[in-house]
Amino acid sequence: MRITITGATGLIGAGLRRHLMASGHELRCLSRKPLAQTGWFAWDTLAGGPPRESLEGSEAVIHLAGEPIAQRWSLEVKRRIRSSRAEGTAALVKSLAALPRRPSVLVSASAIGYYGDRADESLTEQALPGSDFLSEVCVEWERAAELARESGIRVVCVRIGMVLHPRGGALGQMLPIVRAGLGGPMAGGQAWLSWVHREDLMRLFTWALETSTVQGPVNAVAPGAVRNGEFMRTLGTTLHRPAFLPVPAFALRLLYGEMAGVILRSQHVIPEVAEQAGFQFSWPQLAPALQNLLG
Ligand X SMILES: NC(=O)c1ccc[n+]([C@@H]2O[C@H](COP(=O)([O-])OP(=O)(O)OC[C@H]3O[C@@H](n4cnc5c(N)ncnc54)[C@H](OP(=O)(O)O)[C@@H]3O)[C@@H](O)[C@H]2O)c1
Closer to ligand X by CB, 32 or 101: give it: 32
DSSP string of the chain, one letter each residue: -EEEEESTTSHHHHHHHHHHHHTT-EEEEEESS--SSTTEEE--GGGSSPPGGGTTT-SEEEE-----SSS---HHHHHHHHHHHHHHHHHHHHHHHT-SS--SEEEEEEEGGGG---TT-EE-TTSPP--SHHHHHHHHHHHHHHGGGGGT-EEEEEEE-EEE-TTSHHHHHHHHHHHTT----BTTS-SEE-EEEHHHHHHHHHHHHH-TT--EEEEES-S--EEHHHHHHHHHHHHT------B-HHHHHHHHGGGHHHHH---EE--HHHHHTT---S--SHHHHHHHHH-
Closer to ligand X by CB, 64 or 247: give it: 64
Decide: is 16 part of the binding site for ligand X (CB under 6 A).
no
Q: Which of 18, 21, 23, 32 binds ligand X (CB under 6 A)?
A: 32
Ranked by CB distance to ligand X, the top (closest) residue is: 10
Scan residues 79-138 and list those touching ligand X (CB under 6 A): 84, 109, 111
Cα–Cα distance between 76 and 273 in angstroms, integer? Answer: 36
Decide: is 218 part of the binding site for ligand X (CB under 6 A).
no
Instruction: Tell me how far, at minimum, the Cβ of 135 lies from ligand X, in Å.
Output: 13
Decide: is 43 part of the binding site for ligand X (CB under 6 A).
yes
Q: Which residues pair with residue 99 across a beta bridge?
A: none
Instruction: Tell me how far, at minimum, the Cβ of 250 lies from ligand X, in Å.
Output: 24
Instruction: Tell me how far, at minimum, the Cβ of 270 lies from ligand X, in Å.
Output: 16
Selected range binding ligand X among 30-38, 95-103, 211-219, 236-244, rule: CB under 6 A: 30-38
Site string for ligand X, 46-85 (x = CB under 6 A): x-----------------xxxxxx--------------x-
Site size toward ligand X, by CB under 6 A: 27
Closer to ligand X by CB, 43 or 73: give it: 43
CA 235 to chain centroid, in Å, comes to 21
Q: Which of 4, 10, 114, 247 binds ligand X (CB under 6 A)?
A: 10
Instruction: Tell me how far, at minimum, the Cβ of 240 lies from ligand X, in Å.
Output: 25
Selected range binding ligand X among 28-36, 92-100, 128-136, 221-229, rule: CB under 6 A: 28-36
Which residues form the interface with ligand X (CB under 6 A)? Answer: 7-13, 31-33, 43-46, 64-69, 84, 109, 111, 160, 162-163, 169
